[in-house]
Chains A and B, each alone.
Chain A
Amino acid sequence: MAMAAPGQLNVNESPSWGSRSVDCFEKLEQIGEGTYGQVYMAREIKTGEIVALKKIRMDNEREGFPITAIREIKILKKLHHENVINLKEIVTSPDGNKYKGGIYMVFEYMDHDLTGLADRPGMRFTVPQIKLLTGLHYCHVNQVLHRDIKGVLLLMPSKDTCSNLLIDNEGNLKLADFGLARSFSNEHNANLTNRVITLWYRPPELLLGTTRYGPAVDMWSVGCIFAELLHGKPIFPGKDEPEQLNKIFELCGAPDEVNWPGVSKTPWYNQFKPTRPMKRRLREVFRHFDRHALELLEKMLTLDPAQKGQDKLWICTCCLCRFFLVGNMSRSNLQANTATLAGICIFHNSLKHSIWLPSADSSHIILYAL
């Protein structure tokens, strides 16, 4: 779907939304299951283009057309970004009654998800990491919470738990599966459900029952994935909610009114509060990580959601920028640490709408405005 130039009406936009039949596509194989439907790899018969077809499941009669599908379509039509999956069109299946049959969403086809690629030895994750943050930041600027970012899941090889981060053969990463996503608005601060995000990537504020939350929930997920990629396995593989919280406390320390003002007022704090004092062991456990990666991780895995991206970060960002711009500009250093830098720049408020990326030959850093 092309965007019109400023001052022009968008008259070129495809008129075919919802009007074509799924028969225009030839299903090749089932490639997975999303939050609420099967996903097929398919070929468009006319053009030969390979696409992904996601069938919208309509089991729950009481609510009619599923609200998750409405939200996913609404959000995907709003977002146009190279690191967010592109919804091409919607097609219907004509079997029998036209308005009874299946509804399919047509996406661009992506070759891999993060699950498959993480197994490859020698795979570098700096670039996907930046892309993830770029795509996610774009969502947040547009007031969309993804609420289901999940990573490698090496230990859960079942079909419906695959990663939502898709990668094509050119190495482009795209954020997909907006089935749990929703718009948020800073003013309303509405009550949202706390039963979102795959358990391993769910932040402590949701596990403690908070229903007012913001972009910090997605940032926690990114932090978990970041650590997972560097560490080689999921860092918080909890079996259930209590165990999940316990794993978080063991690594990040137990929350109290000092490191997280207001935590004792969260709905389930008394039920889940740690029985013994626990110290933050993040730096100790991940001491083999790059110093700057660790710095970033410290920020992303901060217990108090209100502290993610606050003043302290500004100082740390300044130090890092100076380090990169004035100090060590060697190529290897640069590549290894760009992710860290890009991530930190995103957090830093005055650079909120920009991102730093290495130039093609990695000899210098370019500041991109988003």
Chain B
Amino acid sequence: MLAMLQVHAYYEFSPVTAFLSVNYFDRFLSRCSLPQQSGGWAFQLLSVACLSLAAKMEESHVPFLLDLQLFEPKFVFEPKTIQRMELWVMSNLKWRLRSVTPFDYLHYFISKLPSSSSSQSLNHFFS
């Protein structure tokens, strides 16, 4: 999970991408279980697949699968393997990758704020 966010930061992906990848990760695990005694490779494979899917949903430039595995010397997965994992994740999520996130509401709420001294009220709103 941490590795996922490190890679996310390295490529300067948007916050929505981070949110989505964690969302896919959670939703997948709530439907299936992964082998526990594997030394963690299964979870790492899952996190790479989730990050890759989220990036493809949100970003305009998406690095290759090998380049998504920057800080993970322990296991490096072949693109073919990740692609199969992506498919497994997507079919488990029933192809519902467009999760509703708080970001979808943000602009609506901002538009509801009083227009004058908007930055002040924003600070107030988020404090």
Cα–Cα distance between A220 and B94 once the two chains are bound (Å) = 37
Cα–Cα distance between A99 and B91 once the two chains are bound (Å) = 9
A99-B87 in contact given A62-B79, A65-B56, A67-B62 (Cβ < 8 Å) = yes
Q: Are A17 and B87 in contact (CB under 8 A)?
A: no
**Across the interface, which residues of A come within 8 angstroms of B88, CB to CB?**
99
Cα–Cα distance between A18 and B96 once the two chains are bound (Å) = 9
Cα–Cα distance between A90 and B98 once the two chains are bound (Å) = 15
State which size class the interface on B falls in.
Answer: 20 to 34
Per-residue B-contact encoding for A50-62, CB less than 8 Å = 1, 0 else: 0000000010011
**Across the interface, which residues of B come within 8 angstroms of A70, CB to CB?**
53, 56-57, 97
The segment from A40-48, A72-80, A304-312, A344-352 found at the interface with B is A72-80
**Across the interface, which residues of A come within 8 angstroms of B79, CB to CB?**
61-64
Q: A246 at interface (Cβ–Cβ under 8 A)? A: no
Q: Are A64 and B86 in contact (CB under 8 A)?
A: yes
**Across the interface, which residues of A come within 8 angstroms of B90, CB to CB?**
18, 65
Q: Are A62 and B65 in contact (CB under 8 A)?
A: yes
Q: B64 at interface (Cβ–Cβ under 8 A)? A: yes
Q: Are B62 and A77 in contact (CB under 8 A)?
A: no
Q: B44 at interface (Cβ–Cβ under 8 A)? A: no
**B49's closest neighbor in chain A, by CB?**
A64
Cα–Cα distance between A75 and B38 once the two chains are bound (Å) = 37
Q: Are B97 and A17 in contact (CB under 8 A)?
A: no
**B90's closest neighbor in chain A, by CB?**
A18
**Across the interface, which residues of A come within 8 angstroms of B62, CB to CB?**
63, 67
Per-residue A-contact encoding for B34-72, CB less than 8 Å = 1, 0 else: 000000000000000100110011001010111000000
Q: A182 at interface (Cβ–Cβ under 8 A)? A: yes
Q: Are A65 and B83 in contact (CB under 8 A)?
A: yes
A residues 1-34 near B (Cβ < 8 Å) are 15, 17-19
Per-residue B-contact encoding for A187-200, CB less than 8 Å = 1, 0 else: 00011100000000
**Across the interface, which residues of B come within 8 angstroms of A74, CB to CB?**
57, 97-98
Residue in B52, B60, B84, B86 whose CB lies within 8 Å of A182: B60
Q: Which of B85, B87, B94 has most A Cβ within 10 Å?
A: B87
**B92's closest neighbor in chain A, by CB?**
A18
**Across the interface, which residues of B come within 8 angstroms of A15, CB to CB?**
94
Cα–Cα distance between A97 and B95 once the two chains are bound (Å) = 19
Q: Are B95 and A65 in contact (CB under 8 A)?
A: no
Question: From residue B24, how far is it (CB to closest CB) to chain A in Å?
Answer: 12
Cα–Cα distance between A67 and B60 once the two chains are bound (Å) = 10
Q: Are A58 and B94 in contact (CB under 8 A)?
A: no
Cα–Cα distance between A19 and B95 once the two chains are bound (Å) = 9
A64-B97 in contact given A70-B57, A182-B60 (Cβ < 8 Å) = no
Q: A129 at interface (Cβ–Cβ under 8 A)? A: no
Per-residue B-contact encoding for A92-107, CB less than 8 Å = 1, 0 else: 1000011110010000
Residue in B85, B95, B98 whose CB lies within 8 Å of A78: B98
Q: Are B95 and A90 in contact (CB under 8 A)?
A: yes
Q: B82 at interface (Cβ–Cβ under 8 A)? A: yes
Question: From residue A107, how far is it (CB to closest CB) to chain B in Å?
Answer: 15
Residue in A19, A61, A67, A90 whose CB lies within 8 Å of B56: A67
Residue in B66, B86, B87 whose CB lies within 8 Å of A62: B66
A-B contact pairs, 7 of them (CB 8 A): A19-B94, A62-B66, A64-B65, A64-B79, A73-B95, A73-B97, A77-B98
Measured CB to CB, the residues of A under 8 A from B are: 15, 17-19, 58, 61-65, 67, 70-71, 73-74, 77-78, 90, 92, 97-100, 103, 182, 190-192
Measured CB to CB, the residues of B under 8 A from A are: 49, 52-53, 56-57, 60, 62, 64-66, 79-80, 82-88, 90-91, 94-98
Which 8 pairs, one residue from A and one from B, show the smallest C-beta to C-beta distance? A64-B83, A18-B95, A99-B87, A62-B64, A70-B56, A67-B56, A61-B79, A65-B86
